């Protein structure tokens, strides 16, 4: 598949078939992620791959946290729907910023360094998504994990920053493309002459 085709074909998938993804293929997706550029080549990413019962446990950790927030009247948006997609997906990969410290959020000029690392991780995730599309896999980029941020970190015993999750599996839906803003409207050209 041409890269341009993968870019066009990639869509968020929230329904997955039960079929497992071979381990080598998951590894190839992580290899693609690790080829992303990163500020100062810091490669600030870490991937925790969950399948089977550890993945179901992750979903339970998330749902428990969401339940607590809801009891306090705090809205949790699309989190339950996202958790359903994670439960169905055969693989969920949690993505961490190894340079991020959730107990000491960036202030002042540290914010720029933090942004550099998050951008690098975003590039890695997009590589993973495109590599998945190329292999006929569906993917979902997830940030609803933020609703259970401390709970997930505690559960895994990680002290760095949880950035996102990616759910992966063979698609069981073919959603319509979501609309995009016209590129013309989000671009300004400053040219000579």
Task: Tell which positions 54-93 bind ligand FMN, by CB under 6 A.
Answer: 78, 82
- With respect to ligand FMN, which residue has the nearer C-beta, 12 or 48? 12
**Binder among 143, 149, 150, 173 for ligand FMN (CB under 6 A):** 143
Q: How far is the CB of 154 from ligand FMN (least distance, A)?
A: 20
What is the token pair recorded at 102? 């959730």
Q: Is the dihedral of CA 142, 148, 149, 154 positive or negative?
A: negative
- CA separation for the pair 192, 189 (Å, rounded): 10
Q: Give the tokens for residue 115.
A: 């942004």
Should residue 178 be labelled a site residue for ligand FMN when binding is judged by CB under 6 A?
Answer: yes
> With binding defined as CB under 6 A, does residue 142 bind ligand FMN?
yes
Beta-strand relationship, 161-169 and 138-142: antiparallel
CB of 102 vs ligand FMN, minimal distance in Å: 17
11 near ligand FMN (CB under 6 A): yes
Q: 97, 66, 92, 93: which is closest to 159 by C-alpha?
A: 97
Question: Contact positions toward ligand FMN, by CB under 6 A?
Answer: 11-12, 14, 78, 82, 140-144, 178
């Amino acid at each position: 598949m041409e890269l341009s085709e993968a870019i066009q074909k990639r869509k968020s998938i929230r329904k997955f078939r039960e079929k497992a993804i071979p381990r080598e293929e998951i590894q190839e997706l992580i290899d693609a992620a690790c080829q992303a550029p990163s500020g100062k080549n810091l490669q600030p990413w870490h991937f925790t791959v969950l399948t089977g019962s550890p993945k179901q446990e992750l979903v339970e950790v998330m749902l428990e946290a969401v339940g607590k927030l809801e009891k306090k009247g705090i809205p949790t948006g699309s989190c339950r729907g996202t958790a359903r997609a994670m439960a169905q997906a055969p693989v969920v990969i949690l993505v961490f910023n190894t340079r991020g410290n959730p107990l000491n959020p960036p202030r002042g000029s540290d914010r720029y360094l933090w942004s550099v690392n998050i951008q690098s991780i975003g590039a890695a995730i997009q590589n993973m998504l495109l590599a998945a599309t190329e292999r006929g896999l569906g993917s979902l980029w997830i940030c609803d994990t933020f609703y259970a941020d401390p709970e997930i970190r505690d559960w895994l015993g990680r002290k760095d920053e949880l950035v996102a999750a990616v759910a992966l599996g063979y698609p069981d839906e073919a959603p319509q493309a979501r609309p995009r803003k016209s590129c013309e409207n989000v671009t300004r050209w400053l040219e000579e002459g």
